[in-house]
Amino acid sequence: MSDYVIQVKNLNKSFKGAFWEKEKQVLKNVSFSIPKNKTTGFVGNNGSGKTTSIKCLLQFIFKNSGEILFFDQELNIHNKRKIGYLPERPYLYEFFTAYEFLKFHYQLSVSGSKKSNLETNYSAKTEIELMNEKIDNVLNKVGLVNAKSKYLRSFSKGMLQRAGLAQALIHEPELLILDEPMSGLDPDGRMMVKDILKEEKKKGISIFFSSHLLQDMEELCDHLVVINQGEIIYNDDLKKFMSQFPSLEEAFRFKQNEKML
Amino acid sequence: MKSMFLISKATFLELVREKLFIVIIFISIFLILLSIGLGNLSLFEYQRILADLGLATIEISSLGLALFSGSYIIHKEIEKQTCLLLLAKPISRAQFLIGKFFGLVFLMLLNLVFLMLLLNLFFMNAEYFFNSVMILVNIFMKVTVVFSLVLFLSVIIRPVLSLLFGLSFYLYGHWINNVDYFVKMMKDPTITQYYKVLEFVSPQFYRMNWKSIYYLKQSIPVQEFIFMIGYFSLWIFLFLSLGVRKFNKKDIT
C-alpha cells in the first residue's frame, strides 16, 4: 500500500464541440498524488481544468489517456465505498426531505458492503436505529437538524450546500473529494465547513478539495496542487510553496507575476 | 440489486410527486367518465363504446407517461447533474439506468392497474375480468417498448427529439400494415421487398392490438399471449442494452 489515496499519471482529456470545431485539449499530461491522512488543496484559475480533473477522477467523463488510481487500484465499486464526493453547486433531489435524502444516500453507500452485513448481524431494527443515529449526527454536524423533515425544495442555496456535504459524510468515507465546497456559503457557513474539514482531518480522513479561496486553503491544507491551463505546475507541500512569503495569496501573486503561473 | 431498487424507488417517488403524473391521471379519469357518458347516449352499443374508448384512454395515458416522463428522466439527471452524486456511490451506470427504467415502469403499471380497475367498475361484469387483465398486460408491454426506446434515445439526443421518435415508433408499429394495400396495388417487386423489410423491423403492434370489446368478450389464446410477452420483451431488452451501452460511454460534462 502506497502513502497516497489518489495517484494520477499523465492524464489527458480533450473535448470536441460541433463537428466543424477543433478538438480542445483541456488536460495536458496531468500528474499529481494526494497523500493519505492529509488535506490537499486544488487551486487554479477559472477554466484551468480543476472540475474536469475531478470529473475524470470519478469517471463522470472519460480520459483520453493516462492512469488514475484510488487506494492503488482503478476506480471500482469497492473503493467507491471509501469516497465521499460533493460536486460544485450541487443540485439535489428536491422532492426528498433532508432525512429521506440522507437515508437514500446512506443506503446507496453501504448497499452490499461488509459494513452493512456486519450491521445486519444485530437485527434489522438495530441497523435502522444505527442509520437514524448517523443521519442525526451528520445533520447536527452541518447545522440542519431543525430542517430534518423539510423538503429540499424549500432550502436556500447555503442549506443545499450543507445537505450536499452531509451526504458526502454520511457513510464515514476514508477520502473526501469536494469541488468548491465553500462556494455560495455565507461567512457562518464557510466557518462551519472549515470546522467540519478540520474535524475530519483529525479523524485521519484524507481530503482533496478545490477552491478559489486561498485564505481557506492556507488554513486547512498540508499539500497543494496547482493547475494552470490544463497543466500541473505545482504538486508538493503547501509550506514549501509559501516559503519566503507571509501568505499563500502573496506567494500565488508573486509566482503569477513571475509568469510561473 | 439493492442499489437498483433504491434508485427505482427514488424515481417512482420523484415522478409521483410531479404535477405531470397528477395531470395525466386526471385527464384519464375524465376521458373514462366521458366514454361512460358517450356509451349512455348510444342505445345498444354501451359496452362497445365504453370498452373501446376506455381501453384507448388507458393506453394513451400510459403512452403519455412513457413519452413525457421517459424522455426527460435521464436528460434531467444529466442536465441538473443530480446523477453525479449517485454515480460517485458504489453503483454502476448500468444499475443507475436500469433503476431509473424500473422506477417509471412501476409507475406506468400502477397507473394502468388503477385505470383498468376504474373501467371494470363500470362494466360490472366479472366474466371479463380475466381478459381485461390480459389486455392490461398487452398495453403495458407495448408502452414499455416505446419507453425503452425513448430512454435509449434520450441518452444520445435531445428529449424533445426522443419523444417525437418514440411517438413515431408507436404509430409506425400500429399503422405499417395499412401500407400493405397500396404496396399490393403497385405490384412493384422492389417496393414489396422494401415494405417487407420495413414491416420486419417494426414492432408490429398492430398484430397484437387487443384493446377492443371483441378481445374483452373472446378469450385471447394463451400461446398468443405468451408470444406477445416474449416478443415485446426482446424489443425492451434490445433498447435497454443499447441505452446502457451508450450511457456507459457518455461524458457527463
Which range (A73-82, A245-254, B101-110) has the least confidence? A245-254
Note whether B213 and B47 are within 8 A (CB): yes
User: Which region among A27-41, A98-112, B32-46 has the lowest average model confidence (pLDDT)?
Assistant: B32-46
Question: How far, in Å, CA of A57 to CA of A66, rounded?
Answer: 11
Can you tell me the mean pLDDT for B105-126? 84
- Tell me which chain A residues have a C-beta less than 8 angstroms from the C-beta of B88: 58, 80, 83, 85, 177
Phi/psi at A10 (5° precision):
50, 50
Answer yes or no: are the C-beta atoms of B15 and B101 closer than 8 Å.
no
Containing H/E element for A1?
A: none
CB contact under 8 A, B82 and A92: yes
CA distance B108 to chain A (A): 19
Cα(B115)–Cα(B63) distance, integer angstroms? 13
Among A63-77, B76-90, B203-217, the range scoring the smallest mean pLDDT is: B203-217
Length of chain B: 253
CB distance A148 to A166 below 8 Å: no
3-state secondary structure of A49: coil
Q: Say whether residue A75 is in contact with chain B using an 8 A CB cutoff.
A: no
A96 touches chain B (CB under 8 A): yes
Q: Which residue of A has its CA nearest to B250?
A: A61
Q: Does A80 touch chain B (CB under 8 A)?
A: yes
- Model-level pTM? 0.89
Query: Cα(first)–Cα(last) distance of chain B, in Å?
Result: 27
Query: What's the average model confidence in pLDDT over B24-34?
Result: 87
What pLDDT, on the 0 to 100 scale, is given for residue B147?
96
A206: three-class secondary structure by DSSP:
strand
Closest in B17, B85, B251 to A95, CB measured: B17
Which tens digit of pLDDT belongs to each residue from B195-230? Answer: 888 888 888 888 888 877 777 777 788 899 999 999
Q: Best mutation site among A27, A64, A91, A171 for testing chain B: the one with the most B CBs within 10 Å?
A: A91
- A113: helix, coil or strand? coil
Test A85 with B17 for CB contact under 8 angstroms.
no
A15, pLDDT greater than 80 = yes
Sequence-separated (6 or more) residues with CB below 8 Å from residue B37: none
pLDDT at site A71: 92
Single-letter residue type at B89: K
Residues in B closer than 8 angstroms to A91, CB to CB, are 80-82
Per-residue pLDDT band for A260 (boundaries 50, 70, 90) equals low
pLDDT in tens, A146-166: 889 999 999 988 888 899 999
Angle at B209 (CA atoms; ends B212, B39), nearest 5 degrees: 20
User: At which residue does the C-alpha cell 476514508 appear?
Assistant: A174
In angstroms, what separates the C-alpha of B152 from chain A's closest C-alpha?
19
A95 neighbourhood in chain B, CB within 8 Å:
13-14, 17-18
Phi-psi map region of B129: left, alpha, beta (phi>0 left; psi -120 to 50 alpha): alpha
Which grid coordinates belong to A248? 499563500
B54 DSSP 8-state letter:
H
For residue B130, pLDDT beyond 90: no
CB under 8 Å to A197, separation ≥6 — which residues? A39, A176, A181, A207, A209, A220
Contacts of A55 in chain B (CB under 8 A): 252-253
Query: SS3 sequence, B173-220?
Result: HHHHHHHHHHHHHHCCHHHHHHHHHHHHCCCCHHHHCCCCHHHHHCCC
Give the SS3 label for residue A259. coil
Q: What is the pLDDT of residue A120?
A: 52
CB atoms within 10 A of CB A100: 18
Note whether A83 contacts B: Cβ–Cβ < 8 A.
yes
- Look at the block and give the residue holding cell 423538503: A151
The Cα B30–Cα B116 span in angstroms is: 14
Q: List the grid coordinates of B146.
A: 416505446
Angle, CA of A47, A49 and A53, to the nearest 5°: 150
Q: Mean pLDDT over residues B23-42, rounded?
A: 84
pLDDT for res A177: 95
Looking at the predicted structure, is the pLDDT value of residue A261 above 50? no
Closest in B6, B18, B249 to A107, CB measured: B6
Q: Residue B85 and residue A58: Cβ atoms within 8 Å?
A: no
Residue B84: all three cell numbers together: 453525479
Which chain A residue's Cα is nearest to B79?
A91
Tell me: the pLDDT tens digits for A113-129?
655 544 555 555 678 88
**pLDDT the model gives residue A11:** 93
CB contact under 8 A, B10 and A93: yes
State chain A's mean pLDDT as an integer: 86
Amino acid at B52: D
Scanning every residue of chain A, which has its alpha carbon at the shortest distance from the alpha carbon of B80? A91
How many A/B residue pairs have CB atoms within 8 Å? Answer: 76
A92 has a chain B CB within 8 A of its CB: yes
CA distance A241 to chain B (A): 31
Looking at mean pLDDT, say which of A128-132, B188-192, B245-249 comes out highest: B245-249
> Is residue A257 predicted with pLDDT exceeding 80?
no
Domains of chain A: 1-82+174-261 (3.40.50.300), 92-173 (no CATH)
Query: Residue A230 contacts by C-beta under 8 Å, 6 or more apart in sequence?
Result: A25, A26, A27, A28, A30, A48, A49
What's the gap in Å between the CA of A90 and the closest CA on chain B? 7
The Cα–Cα gap between B184 and B74 comes to 43
Q: Which residue bears the cell 442499489?
A: B3
A253 touches chain B (CB under 8 A): no
| Identity of the highest mean pLDDT range in A121-125, A173-177, A233-237, B38-42 | A173-177
User: What is the model's pLDDT at position A158?
Assistant: 85
pLDDT for A118 equals: 47
Q: What is the H or E stretch that residue A180 is in?
A: none
Q: Mean per-residue pLDDT for B181-193?
A: 86
Are A121 and B13 in contact, with CB atoms under 8 Å apart? no
- The Cα A93–Cα A108 span in angstroms is 14
Nearest-Cα distance to chain B for A81, in Å, is: 6
Are A105 and A131 in contact, with CB atoms under 8 Å apart?
A: no
CA distance B123 to chain A (A): 38
Residue B74 has pLDDT above 90, yes or no: yes
B89 vs A80: CB contact, 8 Å cut-off?
Answer: yes
**Distances from the Cα of A110 to the Cαs of A43, A79, A93, B28, B229, in angstroms?**
31, 12, 19, 41, 36
Least CA distance to A77: which residue of chain B? B90
A99 touches B: beta carbon within 8 Å: no
